Amino acid sequence: MKRLLGFLKDYKKETILAPLFKMLEASFELLIPLVVKRIVDIGIENKDRGYVGQMCLVMITLGIIGLVCAITAQYYSAKAAVGFATKLRHSLFGHMQKLSFAQMDKMGTSTMITRMTSDVNQVQNGVNMVLRLFLRSPFIVLGAMVMAFTIDVQAALIFVVVIPLLSIVVFGIMLITIPLYKKVQTGLDKVLGITRGNLTGVRVLRAFHKEEEEIEEFNAANEGLTSMQLFVGRISAVMNPVTYVIVNGATVALLWTGAVKVDGGVLTQGAVMALVNYMSQILVELVKLANLIITVNKALACANRIGDVLEMEPGLKVADREENRAAEGSTAETQSANAEETQTEVTSDIPVVEFSHVSLTYPEAGAESLTDIDFKAMRGQTIGIIGGTGSGKSSLINMIPRFYEATEGCVKVDGVPVAEYNLQDLRKKIGVVPQKAVLFKGTIRENLLMGKGDTKPAEEMTAEEKAAEDALLRRALEISQSAEFVDNKPEGLETQVSQGGKNLSGGQKQRLTIARALVKEPEILILDDSASALDYATDLKLRRAIHAMEKAPVVFIVSQRASSILHADRIIVLDDGEVAGMGKHDELLVNCEVYQEIYYSQYPDKRKEAQA
Amino acid sequence: MNKGTLKKVFRYIGRYWFFLLCSIVCAAVTVTLTLYIPVLTGDAIDCILEPGKVDFTTITEILKKMAFVITGTAISQWVMGVCNNRIAYYVVRDIRKDAFERLQILPLKYLDAHPYGEIVSRVIADVDQFSDGLIMGFTQLFTGIITIFGTLIFMFRENVGITLVVVCITPVSLFVASFIARRTYKMFKLQSETRGEQTAFIDEMIGNQKVVQAFGYEEKAMKRFDAINDKLGEYSLKAIFFSSITNPSTRFVNSLVYTGVCITGALSVIKGGISVGTLTCFLSYANQYTKPFNEISGVFTEFQNALACAARIFALIEEEPQVPEPEDVKVLGEAEGYVELTDVAFSYVPDRKLIEDLNLKVEDGKRVAIVGPTGCGKTTIINLLMRFYDVDAGSISVDGTDIRNITRESLRENYGMVLQETWLKAGTVRENIIMGKPDATEEEMIAAAKAAHSHSFIKRLPNGYDTVLSEDGEGLSQGQKQLLCITRVMLCLPPMLILDEATSSIDTRTEIRIQKAFAKMMEGRTSFIIAHRLSTIVDADIILVMKDGHIIEQGNHKELLAKGGFYSELYNSQFALSE
Q: Is residue B178 part of a domain?
A: yes
- Chain A, chain B: beta-carbon pairs less than 8 Å apart: 502
Query: Would you tell me which residues 551-610 of chain A have a C-beta closer than 8 angstroms to some C-beta of chain B?
Result: 560-563, 566-567, 597-598, 601-604
DSSP state of A529: S
| A465-486 residue pLDDT tens | 888 888 888 888 888 888 888 8
Q: Do B311 and B439 fall within a single domain?
A: no
Q: Which amino acid is at A134?
A: F
Q: Which of residues 359-398 of A touch B (CB under 8 A)?
A: 386-391, 394
CB contact (8 A) between residue B509 and residue A40: no
Identify whether B360 is part of a domain: no
Give the three-state DSSP class for A87: helix
Shortest distance between the Cα of A550 and any Cα of chain B, in A, equals 21
Residue A467 lies in a domain: no
Cα–Cα distance for residue pair A332/A340, rounded to 1 Å: 12
Q: How much is the pLDDT for B473? A: 66
The reported pLDDT for the residue numbered A430 is 87
Query: Are residues B10 and B141 part of one domain?
Result: yes
Q: What is the pLDDT of residue A337?
A: 43
pLDDT digits (tens, 9 = 90+) for A399-421: 888 887 888 888 888 888 888 88
Residue B466 lies inside a defined structural domain of this protein: yes
Same domain as A137, residue A33: yes
| A417 beta partners | A412
Residue B445 · residue B492 · CB < 8 Å: no
Tell whether A223 and A269 lie within a shared domain: yes
What does the pLDDT read at residue A227? 92
**Average pLDDT, whole number, for chain B?**
83
Q: What mean pLDDT do residues A304-328 have?
A: 62
Instruction: Write down the mean pLDDT value for chain A.
Output: 81
Q: Would residue A47 count as lying in a domain?
A: yes
Q: Is residue B162 part of a domain?
A: yes
> What pLDDT, on a 0 to 100 scale, did the predictor assign at position B229?
92
Residue A131 domain-assigned? yes
CA-CA distance, B162 to B279, in Å (whole number)?
Answer: 10
Q: Cα(first)–Cα(last) distance of chain A, in Å?
A: 75
Are residue B284 and residue B157 in the same domain, yes or no?
A: yes
**Domain check: are A298 and A377 in the same one?**
no
Contact B215 A132 (CB under 8 A): no
A217 found inside a domain: yes
Task: Show which of A311, A335, A358 is a domain's final residue.
Answer: A311
What pLDDT score was predicted for residue A348?
52
End of a domain among A272, A288, A311?
A311
For residue B576, which of A583, A560, A572, A564 has the smallest C-alpha distance?
A564
Neighbouring residues of B193: CB distance < 8 A, sequence distance ≥ 6 = none
User: Judging by beta carbons within 10 Å of its beta carbon (0-12, 13-18, 19+), is residue B449 exposed, middle or buried?
Assistant: buried
Q: At what angle do helices A269-311 and A49-98 cross, to 10 degrees?
A: 10
Over residues A343-366, mean pLDDT? 70
Whether residue A277 is found in the same domain as residue A353:
no
CB contacts of B104 in chain A (<8 Å) are 198, 211, 214-215
Lowest mean pLDDT among A222-226, B464-468, B490-494, B512-516: B512-516
Nearest to A558 by CA among A428, A326, A389, A323: A389
Please determine, for residue A320, whether its predicted confidence score (pLDDT) is greater than 60.
no
Pick the residue from chain B with its C-alpha nearest to A392.
B477
Number of domains in chain B: 2
For A135, which DSSP code? T
pLDDT of residue A81: 92
Q: Nearest Cα to B454, choosing from B493, B480, B426, B428?
A: B480
Residue B207 pLDDT more than 80? no
Yes or no, beta carbons of B226 and A90 under 8 Å apart: yes
Q: What is the pLDDT of residues B349-363, one digit of tens each?
A: 777 777 888 888 888
Q: What pLDDT shows up at residue A473?
A: 87
- Structural contact between residues A285 and A25, judged by C-beta atoms closer than 8 angstroms: no
- Tell me which of A202, A222, A404 to substitute to probe the interface with B (most B C-beta atoms closer than 10 Å): A202
Sign of CA dihedral B191, B195, B196, B198: positive
Q: Which residues contact A356 (CB under 8 A, 6 or more apart)?
A: A374, A409, A410, A412
Tell me, what DSSP letter sits at residue A66?
A: H
Taking CB atoms and an 8 Å cutoff, what residues of chain B touch A121?
125, 129, 195
Chain B residues with CB under 8 Å of A233 CB are 81-82, 85, 89
Q: How far is B189 from chain A (nearest CA, A)?
A: 15
Residue that finishes a domain, picked among B285, B302, B317: B317
- Closest alpha carbon to B246 in B165, B185, B331, B312: B185
Read off the pLDDT of each residue in A440-449 and give the average, rounded to a whole number: 85
For residues A33-58, average pLDDT: 88
B413 contact residues in A (CB cutoff 8 A): 209
Same domain for A58 and A120, yes or no, is yes
ipTM of the modeled complex: 0.76
Q: How far is B490 from chain A (nearest CA, A)?
A: 13
Question: Is the CB of residue B68 less than 8 Å from the CB of residue A278?
Answer: no
**CA of B361 to nearest chain A CA: how many angstroms apart?**
23
pLDDT for position A168: 87
pLDDT at B524: 82
Rg (CA), chain B: 36
What is the structure's pLDDT at B576? 44
* Res B531 pLDDT > 70: no
Using one digit for the tens of pLDDT, what is the confidence trace for A104-126? 766 777 778 888 888 898 888 88
User: What's the mean pLDDT in A338-356?
Assistant: 61
Closest chain A residue to the Cα of B59, Cα to Cα: A256
pLDDT band for B250, please (50, 70, 90 cuts): confident
- CA torsion, points B467, B473, B477, B483, in degrees to nearest 10? 80
Residues A306 and A328 in one domain: no
**Is residue A343 predicted with pLDDT exceeding 50?**
no
In terms of average pLDDT, the best of A77-91, B36-50, B183-197 is: A77-91
Given this model, what pLDDT does residue A331 score? 41
* Domain C-terminal end among B493, B509, B544: B493
User: Is the pLDDT confidence value at B467 over 80?
Assistant: yes
| Confidence band for B501, pLDDT divided at 50, 70 and 90 | low
* Mean pLDDT calculated for residue range B154-168: 84
Question: What are phi and psi for residue B107, nearest 5 degrees?
Answer: -65, 150
Question: Is residue B276 one of the residues assigned to a domain?
Answer: yes
Q: Does A462 reside within a domain?
A: no
Q: What is the pLDDT of residue A220?
A: 93
Q: Test B48 with A280 for CB contact under 8 angstroms.
A: no
Query: Which CATH number belongs to the domain containing residue B26 in this structure?
Result: 1.20.1560.10
What angle separates helix B276-317 from helix B127-158, to the nearest 10 degrees? Answer: 150
Q: What is the CATH number of the domain that holds A298?
A: 1.20.1560.10
The percentage of residues in chain B with a pLDDT greater than 90, rounded to a whole number, is 8
Minimum-distance CB partner of B244 among A74, A99, A499: A74
Q: Rounded to whole angstroms, how far apart are CA atoms B114 and A518?
A: 30
Measured CA distances, A350 to A342, A344, A524 (Å): 9, 9, 14
Q: Which of A287, A311, A335 is the C-terminal boundary of a domain?
A: A311
Over range B123-137, report the average pLDDT. Answer: 80
Is B148 within a domain? yes
Tens-place pLDDT, residues A186-205:
898 889 888 888 888 888 88
Residue of A508, A431, A433 whose CA lies nearest to A477: A508
Query: Min CA distance, A209 vs chain B (Å)?
Result: 6
pLDDT for A588-610, tens place per residue?
Answer: 888 888 888 778 777 766 766 66
Using an 8 Å CB-CB cutoff, list chain B residues near A128: 240, 244
Judged by CB atoms closer than 8 Å, whether chains meet at A561 and B37 is answered as no
User: What CATH number is given to the structural domain containing B446?
Assistant: 3.40.50.300
Question: How many whole angstroms separate alpha carbon B24 and alpha carbon B6?
Answer: 19
* Lowest mean pLDDT across A3-17, A346-360, B18-32: A346-360
B263/B482 Cα distance (integer angstroms) = 82
User: Are A222 and A370 found together in one domain?
Assistant: no
Residues B394-419 have a mean pLDDT of 88
DSSP-H helix ranges across B159-275? 160-169, 171-207, 209-214, 218-271
Of the residues B478, B493, B508, the one at which a domain ends: B493
Determine the residue of chain A that is closest to B425 in CA distance: A197
Residue A335 confidence (pLDDT): 44
- Closest-CA distance, A425 to chain B, in angstroms, reads 9
What is the separation, in whole angstroms, between the first and last Cα of chain B? 75
Q: How far apart are CA A423 and CA B216, in angstroms?
A: 9
* Band of residue B536 on the pLDDT scale cut at 50, 70, 90: low
Are B306 and B451 found together in one domain? no
Search chain A and give the residue with CA nearest B55. Answer: A259
Helices (H), A418-574: 423-428, 444-448, 463-479, 483-488, 506-519, 536-547, 562-565
Q: How many domains does chain A have?
A: 2
Looking at the structure, tell me whether residues A420 and A533 fall in a common domain. yes
Q: What DSSP letter does each residue of B135-177 carry, written as one string? A: HHHHHHHHHHHHHHHHHHHHHHHH-HHHHHHHHHHTHHHHHHH
The reported pLDDT for the residue numbered A607 is 67
Helical residues (DSSP H) of B424-564, grouped into ranges: 429-433, 442-451, 455-460, 478-492, 508-522, 557-563
Q: Do A506 and B348 touch (CB under 8 A)?
A: no
Residue B57 CB partners (closer than 8 Å, separation 6+):
none
List A residues 250-309 in contact with B (Cβ-Cβ < 8 A): 251-252, 255-256, 258-260, 262-265, 268-270, 272-273, 276-277, 280, 284
Tell whether A221 and A93 lie within a shared domain. yes
Structure confidence at residue B104 as a pLDDT band (50, 70, 90)? confident
Q: Which pLDDT does position B508 carry in this prediction?
A: 62
All residues at 6 or more sequence positions from A184 whose CB lies less than 8 Å from its CB, including other chains: A225, A228, A229, A232, A301
The answer to whether B206 touches B221, Cβ cutoff 8 Å, is no
Domain span including residue B447: 423-493
Q: Which amino acid is at B95?
A: I
* pLDDT-derived band at A580, boundaries 50, 70, 90: confident
Is B114 part of any domain?
Answer: yes
Q: Model confidence at B62, in pLDDT bands (50, 70, 90)?
A: very high
Residues B312 and B445 in one domain: no
B301 and B449 within one domain: no
SS3 B500: strand
Residue B368 has pLDDT above 80, yes or no: yes
Domain membership of residue A270 (yes or no) is yes
Q: Which amino acid is at B321?
A: P
Of B115, B237, B262, the CB nearest to A39: B262
Contact A354, A415 (CB under 8 A): yes
Nearest to A306 by CA among A84, A114, A177, A87: A114
Residue A502 lies in a domain: no
The full DSSP string for A158-196 is HHHHHHHHHHHHHHHHHHHHHHHHHHHHHHHHHHHHHHH
pLDDT reading at B504 higher than 70: no
* Rg of the Cα atoms in chain A: 36
Structural domain harbouring A397: 321-429+522-611
| pLDDT, greater one: A53 or A459 | A53
pLDDT tens for A233-287 read: 888 888 889 988 998 899 899 989 988 988 888 888 888 888 888 888 887 787 6
Does residue A340 share a domain with residue A246? Answer: no
**Reduced to 3 states, what is the DSSP secondary structure of residue B548?**
coil
pLDDT band at A318 (very low <50, low <70, confident <90, very high): low
B144 occurs within a structural domain? yes
Same domain, A149 and A293: yes
Q: Does A178 touch chain B (CB under 8 A)?
A: no
For residues A217 and A134, membership in a common domain is answered with: yes
Cβ contact (<8 Å) for A536 and B570? yes
- 15-54 in chain A: CB under 8 A from chain B: 25, 32, 36, 39-40, 43-44, 47, 49, 52-53
Are B52 and A191 in contact (CB < 8 Å)? no
Same domain for B229 and B98? yes
Instruction: Tell me the Ramachandran region of residue A269: left when phi exceeds 0, alpha when psi lies from -120 to 50, beta otherwise.
Output: alpha
Quick one: average pLDDT of A497-512? 80
Cα dihedral across residues A162, A163, A168, A169: positive or negative? positive
pLDDT > 80? residue A136 = yes
More confident residue, B5 or A226: A226
User: B241 to chain A: which residues are within 8 Å by CB?
Assistant: 74-75, 78-79
Q: How far apart are CA B111 and CA A245, in angstroms?
A: 54
Interface contact flag, B259 A505, Cβ < 8 Å: no
For residue A9, is it within any domain? yes
